[in-house]
Amino acid sequence: LLGAQKAVFYGGIVIMIGHFVLAIPSTQAFFLGLIFVVAGTGLLKPNVSAVVGDLYPQGDPRRDAGFSIFYMGINTGAFLGPLVCGWLAQSSGLGWHWGFAAAGVGMLFGVIQFYLTKHHLGSAGTAPSQTGDATIDAQRRKRGWTLVIIALAGLTALVIVGLTGGMDLDPVQVSEQSTAVIVGVFILFFAYVLLFGHLTSDEKKRTIALMILLMGCSMFWSGFEQSGSSLNFFADRYTQLDYSWFSIPSTWFQSVNSIFIIMFAPVFAWLWVALAKRNLQPSTPAKFGFGLILLACGFLVMVGASTVVASGQLAAPTWLIMTYLLHTFGELALSPVGLSVTTKLAPKRFVGQMMGMWFLATALGNLIAGQIAGEFDAENVAAYPDQYMSIVMTAGGAGLILLLLTKPIKKLMSGVD
């Protein structure tokens, strides 16, 4: 409806507003600010990835490398964010709301930078998706804007009812119901695209392949996003943080993954291009499988760390650092490659929406991650090794299954690497 570049710009503005609202110290402002951030992210995040994909022609081996560099840029901010926010909240004594305000200032500069330099992107993402038939395009735009207005009206009503105390929200129920909603949306969207999207035979096969890869994506993030829950909890409660010369804010461990991304993204970008030149580059399903196996290896390290804690000692920071290193390798094998392949497998007129499905799969992984983390009991540390081992078995098993299914998935991809 807007074109990807405009969606990115407007999305950044909405996110910025959300962070400044979050800076207001009240419960109502907290939830309202989150809603702005969510809505803005829905505009910005899938569309900025679609723009990156549009910079490269089909079949260009530089696309995966380009997404790795793009991913490194994202993680520059992800590295700085926890350092700034964590210092403001835990060390300076100013509190978390100052961290939210800092994020708003950061997004302000991001929006200005994007607006001033977007001409370097050329025509990538400038035009709304089109079928080539002016009449059909006009009908689709009219129908699309109608749906947007209805959705915004419904969301506004829901927000008003929620903020005025018209309904009680139970976080666990919200999580469980959101899981069901996301799975339902996923099924309905792909059923619509496959049945009524006027796809060619190859497009249908590629869409089915993408569905399989998105399931692997959800599985990966359900483990990886323990970084913001059970692993963060482990850093705060069970890791040696205080030394004679320095006390480490537990929030700073959230920057470790981003440091490794910045360090190793260029290495992976070079690796994919170098392997492609020698016809040795693993296929996308294989990369997904390796990503899940590396995730499992990271949690195997946590089995050792939690065994130390169960014996009554604090774990050294190196346990978490090694876990994040292995998880980063898994992320670099799967995430930027997944962003890239989504733009390649998606039918041209559905690229933005398919990127939305990628992030919907990521959202499902986040929800499951939260549910898994909810099973970790601070009073029952002895259970941690077995709980981490269950993640090892699940993620590792899923990775092996993807490796075994590499050939049939590649056939469905119809020539897309």
CA distances from 56 to 275, 343, 358 (A): 19, 10, 19
Is the distance from CB of 207 to CB of 193 less than 8 angstroms?
yes
Tell the residue number behind the tokens 């992800």, with chain if given. 78
Mean pLDDT of the chain: 87
Is the distance from CB of 64 to CB of 336 less than 8 angstroms?
yes
pLDDT of residue 321: 95
Position 156 confidence tier, pLDDT thresholds 50, 70, 90? confident
**Phi, psi at residue 242, to the nearest 5°?**
-100, 120
Share of the chain above pLDDT 90, in %: 40
- Provide mean pLDDT across the span 238-264: 86
In the structure encoding, which two tokens stand for residue 183, read together?
């799975």
Q: Who's near 313: CB < 8 A, 6+ residues apart?
A: none
Position 130 confidence tier, pLDDT thresholds 50, 70, 90? low
Is the distance from CB of 281 to CB of 356 less than 8 angstroms?
no
Q: Say if residue 19's pLDDT is above 90.
A: yes
Give the Cβ contact number of residue 221 at 10 Å. Answer: 23
Highest mean pLDDT among 67-81, 155-169, 271-285, 319-333: 319-333
- Tell me if residue 242 falls in helix, strand or coil: strand
- Provide mean pLDDT across the span 161-184: 82
Q: Say if residue 357's pLDDT is above 70.
A: yes
**Residues 30, 36, 37, 43, Cα dihedral to 10°:** 170
Position 261 confidence tier, pLDDT thresholds 50, 70, 90? confident
Q: Say if residue 238's pLDDT is above 70.
A: yes
Weakest mean pLDDT among 4-18, 162-176, 299-313: 162-176
Position 361 confidence tier, pLDDT thresholds 50, 70, 90? very high
Q: Say if residue 125's pLDDT is above 90.
A: no
Q: Say if residue 164's pLDDT is above 80.
A: no
Q: Say if residue 189's pLDDT is above 90.
A: yes
Note the Cα 82 to chain centre separation in Å: 17
pLDDT of residue 412: 92
pLDDT of residue 307: 94
CA distances from 284 to 200, 214, 254, 416, 417 (A): 22, 12, 28, 9, 6
314 vs 56, residue with greater confidence: 314
- Tell me if residue 92 falls in helix, strand or coil: coil
pLDDT in tens, 194-216: 998 888 899 999 999 999 999 99
Highest mean pLDDT among 226-230, 276-280, 331-335: 331-335
pLDDT of residue 224: 92
